[in-house]
Amino acid sequence: MSEGKFTEKLDQKGDHREKIEDGLRLIAEGKTHLGTLRANLEAAIETETEGLSVETRAKLERAKENISRQIGQIEAEIEKIARVVTDLAQSLGIEINLDEILQPSEQASQEKEAA
């Protein structure tokens, strides 16, 4: 392989890596938004149930738990997708550190939930 073709392949690999990392960041942002949605839902149900009957509050609490569980399932599926993309990239010889990409997103999610 000539030096020019080798350099071109490396450039393409770098471009692919950037695109994969960008995609994984978008996946991580989606997961963060789901975490924010869960926190907002829980906070809204906590504050908006005053004055409601015990029965209505219990129904809202069950709905909150069901939605929270579904959000957790979606988050788990998002993580699976991210891992599949990472494995695919690595099979193509593109090293991706998924934990580094997801970490800022998880920190942002935790900070939003704390606020």
Tokens in use for 106? Answer: 């998880």
CA gap 101, 99 in Å, rounded = 5
92 is written with which tokens?
A: 């193509």
Overall average pLDDT of the 74-100 stretch: 87
What is the mean predicted confidence (pLDDT) over 85-108? 78
Mean pLDDT of the chain: 81
Summary count for the chain: helices (H), strands (E): 3, 0
Domain boundaries, the chain: 24-114
Is 35:111 a contact under the CB 8 Å cutoff? no
Global pTM exceeds 0.75: no
Q: How confident is the model at residue 115 (pLDDT cuts 50, 70, 90)?
A: low
| pLDDT of 47 | 83
